[in-house]
Amino acid sequence: MRSHRRYILICATACGVLFARLTTAFAQADPASEPAVLAVAKVLPAVVNINTERVVRRTVRDPFEDFYAQFFGYNRVRPREIRQTLQSLGSGFIVDPAGYIITNQHVVERAADLKIHVTTNDGKTYNAHYITGDDKTDLAFIKIDAKAAFPFVSLDNISPNLLGETVIVVGNAVGYGSSISRGVLSAVKRNITVDDIEYKDLVQTDAAINPGNSGGPVIDISGRLVGISSAKMAFTPQGVPTQGLGFAIPADAVRESVARFKRVAQKQPEEKKQPATSETSTSNAERLFGMQLQDLSEELTDALGYARGHGVLITAIEPGSPADDAGVQRGLVIYRVGKSEANSVKQVEDLLGLVRSGTSVEFTIGVIQAGGQTQQIARLTMTGR
C-alpha cells in the first residue's frame, strides 16, 4: 500500500514538473517575445513615409496638330501651357532626435523646388527641407522640426552583416505604411547596374523590397541597422526574370555619410525655407540644350510613321540654343544619349541629371521609319549652356 502511494506521489510530482515546463514553453512561444517582433517595435517609431511633390509648368505643342498642319497647310495654333504634378513615394528613418532623416537621393531628387512631406509612424505629417545628398552613394539628408525629441535609429552599434543572418525590411511598400518583410542576408560587396545607374558595394537580401521601400531601414533581429533599401532587380541584363534579389546600402556607408551630412547641416542656418513662389521646373534637356521632349506613344508613332518603341520626340527647339546651333529640328527623335539608349523622357532626364554647364554630350538624333528604313540618323555633340 505504501509502495502504491509512493508511486502515485512520484507520478504526481513528475506531472507537476512536466506541466511547469510546458507552461514555460508556451510562455516562451508568445509572439510578443519573438526577437523579430521586438526588433521591429524598437525601430518602427523612427521609420517615416516620404512623399514628394513638384508642380511643373511647361509650354508644349500638340504633335498631332503639327503633323496635320505640315501636310494640310493650315495655320498652327499657339503653344499651350500645361501644369503637371509629379509625385514620388519612398521611406526613410530618423537618425537624430533633432529630426534629421536619412533616405535615398533618388527619393528626394535633390530639387530646390520640391515639396517634401514626411509622415511619422504615429500619423503626424511634417514639412521637411533638403539639406544635402550624394549621387554616388544614393543617400540624402533631410530634416523635420518639432519641439519634442524624435525617436531615432542609433548608428553607434550597427549589424556585423554576416551571411545567412536574418534581416527585416521596414518601410512603406507601394504606399502601405509600416510594411515588414523578412529574409536573410544573401551576399555582400555586390556591384549592380539598374536603369543605367551603377551601385557599388551593396548587401544583397532575399527579403522583399518593393516600390516605396527605397530609403527605409534593413535591420537584424537585434534591431541593429544592416543597411538602407536601395534597389530591386526584377530582370537580369539579358531580360531573365529574377526572384529574391534585393539590395541595400550597407550600414557602415550610411554611418559615414550621416557623419559627413551632419557637418554640412551645422554650417547651414537652423531653418532653410523653401521658395514660396517656386512652382516651375525646367527639364535638363531644355535647361542645358534648349530642347522640349515628349514620349512617343503608339498612336503618335503610327501617325508620324516612325518605328515603334524607339526614341523620344523633340517637340520644340529654343532659338539660339545649343540644339538650334547644332541644326536640330522639331519632329526629329533622340535615340541615344552618349552610349545609352533613350526610349522615354525620364531616361533622357536621368542621363542628363549629372551634366553641368560646359559639358559636351553626344546625341544620336534622326528618324527611323516604320519597317526598318533609316533616314537622317546622325551623331551630334552639343555643349550644355
Q: Is the pLDDT of residue 74 over 50?
A: no
In a domain, 230, yes or no: yes
* Residue 72 pLDDT class (50, 70, 90 cuts): very low
Residues 246, 307, single domain; the answer is no
Round to the nearest angstrom and report the end-to-end CA distance of the chain: 107
Q: Which range has the worst mean pLDDT, 178-192, 275-289, 303-317?
A: 275-289
In a domain, 4, yes or no: no
For residues 2-23, give the mean pLDDT: 54
pLDDT digits (tens, 9 = 90+) for 111-167: 555 688 899 988 899 999 889 888 888 899 999 998 889 999 999 999 999 999 999
Tell me the residue range of the domain where 222 lies.
166-250
Residues 290, 243, single domain; the answer is no
In a domain, 239, yes or no: yes
Residues 288, 374, single domain; the answer is yes
Q: Is the pLDDT of residue 16 over 60?
A: no
Q: How many domains does the chain have?
A: 2
> 227, 250, 273 — which closes off a domain?
250
> What confidence score (pLDDT) does residue 276 get?
37
CATH of the domain at 219: 2.40.10.10
Q: Closest Cα to residue 204, out of 167, 173, 253, 252?
A: 167
Are the beta carbons of 183 and 170 closer than 8 angstroms? no
In a domain, 335, yes or no: yes
> What confidence score (pLDDT) does residue 155 get?
94
In a domain, 76, yes or no: no
DSSP E strands in the chain: the ranges are 47-60, 80-94, 100-104, 115-119, 125-134, 139-143, 166-171, 179-194, 197-205, 217-220, 225-232, 246-250, 291-295, 312-317, 333-337, 340-341, 360-368, 374-383
* Residue 246 pLDDT class (50, 70, 90 cuts): confident
Phi-psi region at 234: left, alpha or beta (left = phi > 0; alpha = psi -120 to 50): alpha
Q: Closest Cα to residue 349, out of 292, 280, 308, 271?
A: 292
In a domain, 190, yes or no: yes
Torsion 19-22-28-31 (CA) sign: negative
CATH of the domain at 337: 2.30.42.10
Residues 176, 236, single domain; the answer is yes
pTM value?
0.58
How do 115-119 and 125-134 pair as beta strands? antiparallel
Q: Is the pLDDT of residue 272 over 50?
A: no
Residues 294, 379, single domain; the answer is yes
Question: Among 34-38, 84-88, 255-259, 314-318, which range has the highest average pLDDT?
Answer: 255-259
Beta-carbon count within 10 A of 120 CB: 21
Q: Closest Cα to residue 99, out of 123, 122, 120?
A: 120
Residues 370, 327, single domain; the answer is yes
* Residue 274 pLDDT class (50, 70, 90 cuts): very low
> What confidence score (pLDDT) does residue 361 get?
93
Are the beta carbons of 91 and 171 closer than 8 angstroms? yes
Distance CA 345, CA 332 (A): 14
Residues 295, 234, single domain; the answer is no
Q: What is the DSSP string of 76-121?
A: PPPPEEEEEEEEEEEEEEE-STT-EEEEEHHHHTT-TT-EEEEE-T
Rg (CA), the chain: 28
> What confidence score (pLDDT) does residue 17 get?
52
Q: Residue 325, exposed/middle/buried by CB under 10 A (0-12, 13-18, 19+)?
A: middle
Q: Is the pLDDT of residue 236 over 90?
A: no
Contacts of 346 (CB under 8 A, 6+ apart): none
Q: Is the pLDDT of residue 92 over 90?
A: yes
> 250, 275, 303 — which closes off a domain?
250
In a domain, 255, yes or no: no
Helix, strand, coil shares of the chain as percentages rounded to 5?
A: 25, 35, 35
Are the beta carbons of 218 and 250 closer than 8 angstroms? no
Residue, of 63 and 133, whose pLDDT is higher? 133
Q: Is the pLDDT of residue 358 over 70?
A: yes
Residues 368, 316, single domain; the answer is yes
In a domain, 95, yes or no: no
> What confidence score (pLDDT) does residue 34 get?
87
* Residue 354 pLDDT class (50, 70, 90 cuts): confident
